A = this chain, B = another copy of it.
């Protein structure tokens, strides 16, 4: 059945479209007889206002676009959830795209999003993205952009990120505070800012405890996977003076390390303490449960969404748009994998 329009109702009732329009949104001055007739006709014809026409007329689209590297990822799905909740509370909708960590696809989807007419964009850059001209182009067309998680200083835009430095510092300090002095770190690749921050936090904590960094206690992942954690843990344990603790850049790496340690017959945390990063659900389920640094994914989504909606509003009101830079604290969740026995018992017996 063809979609009914105001005109269809107008013809059926024998009035003009203007009258129908008013009757449908109970205007003050409207004859109750015609109103009834209009309402009845609308019902009968399955009338629903054409949203595009309304939006065009009122110049309010109320849709924002989101680009993440991957949708299937515990961190990003949390971020998306936060974005959607805030946006919907303000009457906005969220269009979702993934870049698959590809620079080319990121360009493609941002342009598609623009072509759809979104009011603004929330973007987490792909690992491959070095140039941000595609985003600057959007800004040139008065489309506000907010970056989150993986950001670029080359773009003049609001940003929301986790405080990776502080999270890593806390994790390392937690190990050092228990009297451990030989703490190793399995770090991420050299490039991305967030893994660099985690490394920096590790070094800063060592320095705070007056411990010089030991190169043999630092390993660098290429792909940040399970297998690397496994291999590097073995490598550490083969050292003449093996570390007493390992801080891993990611939970996947920490899990790999745990497997290696277990296989080597070492007890966690009694022989080697372990801390991961991201606080995946798996941390709680392993034996022993792994300590990890939780990233506030949902909150990052919320704040990024709020910043974007605010900028959209400012732009609409011809107010100056102020960019904000939010850095949200990470939270160390201490579990058994990093608590030395002494911490369980009341005192030395």
Contact = CB atoms under 8 A, between A and B. Distances in A.
Interface of A: 1, 3, 46, 48, 50-53, 55-56, 61-63, 70-74, 77-78, 80-81, 84-85, 88, 91, 93-98, 109, 112-117, 140-142, 226, 255, 259, 262, 281-282, 285-287, 298
Contact of A98 (B72, B84, B259, B287): B84
B115 A96 contact: no
B282 A285 contact: yes
B97 A88 contact: yes
Given A53-B56, A281-B282, A287-B287, 6 more contacts: A48-B141, A52-B55, A71-B77, A71-B84, A77-B77, A95-B95
A197 B117 CA distance: 44
Given A52-B61, A81-B72, A287-B262, A116 B93 contact: yes
B98 A81 contact: yes
Nearest to A281: B282
A285 B286 CA distance: 8
A77 B73 CA distance: 8
A298 B71 CA distance: 11
A115 B54 CA distance: 10
Nearest to A52: B56
Contacts of A73: 77
B84 A112 contact: no
Contacts of A286: 285-286
Contacts of A72: 74, 77-78, 80-81, 298
Contacts of A113: 93
A50 B143 CA distance: 12
Contact of A62 (B53, B116, B259): B116
Contacts of A226: 285
Given A50-B117, A56-B56, A285-B282, A93 B112 contact: yes
